[in-house]
Amino acid sequence: MALERSFLHASTNMASLILLQILGIVSLSTSQAILARQSQGQPLNDIYPMQNFTMPIDHFHNETRYAPHTNDTFVQNYWLDTSNYVEGGPVIIHAMGEDSTFDLDWLQNGLVHQVVNATGGVAVLWGQRYYSGGAIIPYGQYNTSNLRFHSTEQALADLAYFAQKAVFAGLEHKNLTAPGTPWIIIGGSYAGVISAFTRIQYPDLFWGGLSSSGITTAIDDAWSYYDVIRRYGPKACISNQQQLVALMDNVYSSGNKTALSQLISAFNLSESTPYSDFASYVDTPLQEWDLSWASQNTPINGSGSYCNYLTNQTDVANASATLKATARSLLRYANKTATPDANDLYYPLLNFAGYMLNTYSFCDGQTVEECLSLYTPTPFTWLICTEYGQFATGYTPGSPGHPAALPLVSRTLTPEYFLAQCKKTYNITYGPQLQRFNKYGGVNLSYPRLAISTGQFDFYRPFGPLAEFLPNTTAKPNPRIASNGTIAAPQIVIEGAYHEWDFYGFLPNQTTTFKTPVAVQSAKSREIEAVKTWLQEWNQTHT
């Protein structure tokens, strides 16, 4: 999950970013980041015109889950680069999952480009049914009935169907279908689930696979998402975050309605905003934890950053007199041990509100539900609600399965809170069917000719095969990360890296200030080496 990153217009798209984040699914780059990655010459849409393919909507007429069944088809879109193709070369398909066309630069300069350049392959960039990037939505509206064909299983079956039938523009005279041609699937984040599961589910059609930052473990109570930030974030900032969240939770649990409405009004939200909605809204800046090496994005720490606000002992945001009075009053009430003016948390609280007011002013005066369209169906939240879970929760310190340390987000952000949103949004009575994912192995997922990578500091790392700690434990080390795997099945923890860092790149002639980190370079080299090894193995076993 990068997960959903398709927000190009700051305000409305920021709202959808937050919505996804509230539902536990987080967007990972900013519009600046996307712009920085655009081709510097001809527009990418001209270099790689959209291709289409006629795809059955329902691959599983035997499964009651999809009833009523249909024989209809939809138009699946994809993008193609055959310019590196050499007779006998493979097909390298990069599944974008829920991403949109802003991944087109990967065909020009990303990992998929480097792999086809090194192997003489055809490169395909593949979107997913229901998402604007990859497919024309099978049915108009995202209601529960229309979304029934949106599942990971159907998405894998799309890939298997395509691999057996694809005819590529410019290479119509060649039969490049699987299993006669080696197909290798790449994907990251949720699409890293797609790539891993496709390799495992259809091993005869997909000769090899790479899962980068793949979020392969489905789990309801995904508290460890924020635990990565707690462990590795800037200490003073994390401590203030914990204290402020505890303070807000204290105000809420005290049952003092006056104090609670003061708190919510301090952030310019409508007083009728339920506390948990408020709590999920104010944890939004933590998304800035994710960094990119290939674009300019706002780091969580450093000058002008969120952490700068949270740790600064001056009034950074020029707070109003009302806000100052509120901060004093709340601190006096919620923290009886402290003298308000001298309290270490006075400026952090003031600046926390100030940061939210400056950055997310488009919610002013509204409830969080109104502002973020909390109950509006979207394809990705459907997936979360029916299969994935991944609710980014808070917890009560020391409660079963949770750390003793204070959480970074409110303890009211329980799995039940998110499940209630799912049920209300989709009129469903059930929760996520986690075994649809976890049957592939979760943290134990592995397969021959499947490369696995993650960023050391990726906040989705706890839910992938290279998690530092085993899922559902507070700190039980994951034994498999002691190994770097083999040449043919590498396991790569990219040092100092965040989400999907091995996908980005630049052409040698592209003028840019960005430099590929050494650890990223080394991960890519191992991945390209792995693919070459698989192709040698192919040549040895296919004459």
Ligand X SMILES: *[C@@H]1O[C@H](CO)[C@@H](O)[C@H](O)[C@H]1NC(C)=O
Query: Looking at 105, 277, 458, 502, which residue is catalytic?
Result: 458
The residue among 159 and 316 lying less far from ligand X, judged by its C-beta, is 316
The residue among 5 and 445 lying less far from ligand X, judged by its C-beta, is 445
SS3 state of residue 76: strand
Residues that bind ligand X (CB under 6 A): 41, 52, 60, 62-63, 69-71, 75, 84, 86, 117, 120, 143-144, 175, 177, 179-180, 217, 219, 243, 246-247, 250, 256, 258-259, 262, 308, 312, 314, 316, 329-330, 333, 335, 337-338, 343-345, 377, 426-427, 438, 442, 471-472, 483-484, 507, 509
The residue among 29 and 147 lying less far from ligand X, judged by its C-beta, is 147
Residue with token string 């706890």: 462
How big is the chain, counted in residues?
543
Residues 6+ apart with CB under 8 A from 520: 293, 494, 497, 501, 502, 504
Report, in angstroms and rounded to the nearest whole number, the Rg of the chain calculated over CA atoms: 24
The residue among 102 and 142 lying less far from ligand X, judged by its C-beta, is 142
The residue among 31 and 256 lying less far from ligand X, judged by its C-beta, is 256
Q: Are 247 and 256 in contact (CB under 8 A)?
A: no
Q: Is 103 part of the annotated catalytic residue set?
A: no
> What does the block give as tokens for 393?
């929760």
Rounded least distance, CB 376 to ligand X, Å: 9
Query: Looking at 189, 213, 224, 280, which residue is catalytic?
Result: 189
Return d(Cα 373, Cα 334) in angstroms, integer: 31
Rounded least distance, CB 257 to ligand X, Å: 8
Rounded least distance, CB 240 to ligand X, Å: 9
Rounded least distance, CB 219 to ligand X, Å: 5
Q: Report the residue number whose CB is nearest to ligand X.
A: 180
Nearest CA-CA partner of 505 in 91, 147, 109: 109
> What does the block give as tokens for 37?
């990655």
Rounded least distance, CB 496 to ligand X, Å: 11
Angle subtended at Cα 305 by Cα 262 and Cα 15, rounded to the nearest 5 degrees: 60
Q: Which long-range contacts (CB under 8 A, 24 or more apart) does 234-241 make?
A: 234/300, 234/301, 234/307, 234/311, 236/307, 236/311, 237/300, 237/301, 237/306, 237/307, 237/310, 237/311, 238/408, 240/310, 240/311, 240/345, 240/348, 241/286, 241/310, 241/408
What count of other Cβ atoms lies within 10 Å of the Cβ of residue 359?
15
**What is the DSSP code (8-state) at residue 135?**
B
The residue among 509 and 543 lying less far from ligand X, judged by its C-beta, is 509
Rounded least distance, CB 18 to ligand X, Å: 20
Rounded least distance, CB 26 to ligand X, Å: 19
Rounded least distance, CB 30 to ligand X, Å: 21
Start-to-end CA distance of the chain, whole Å, equals 39
The residue among 360 and 469 lying less far from ligand X, judged by its C-beta, is 469
The residue among 31 and 446 lying less far from ligand X, judged by its C-beta, is 446
Q: Is 458 part of the annotated catalytic residue set?
A: yes
> What DSSP string runs through 448-497?
TTEEEEEETT-TTGGGSTT-SB-TTSSS-B-GGGG--B-SSSBEEEETT-
* Complete edge-to-edge strand list for the sheet that includes strand 491-494: 51-56, 73-81, 122-127, 91-97, 183-188, 208-212, 450-455, 491-494
Amino acid in the structure at residue 294? A
Q: Are 55 and 87 in contact (CB under 8 A)?
A: no
Return d(Cα 160, Cα 281) in angstroms, integer: 40
Residues labelled as active-site residues? 189, 458
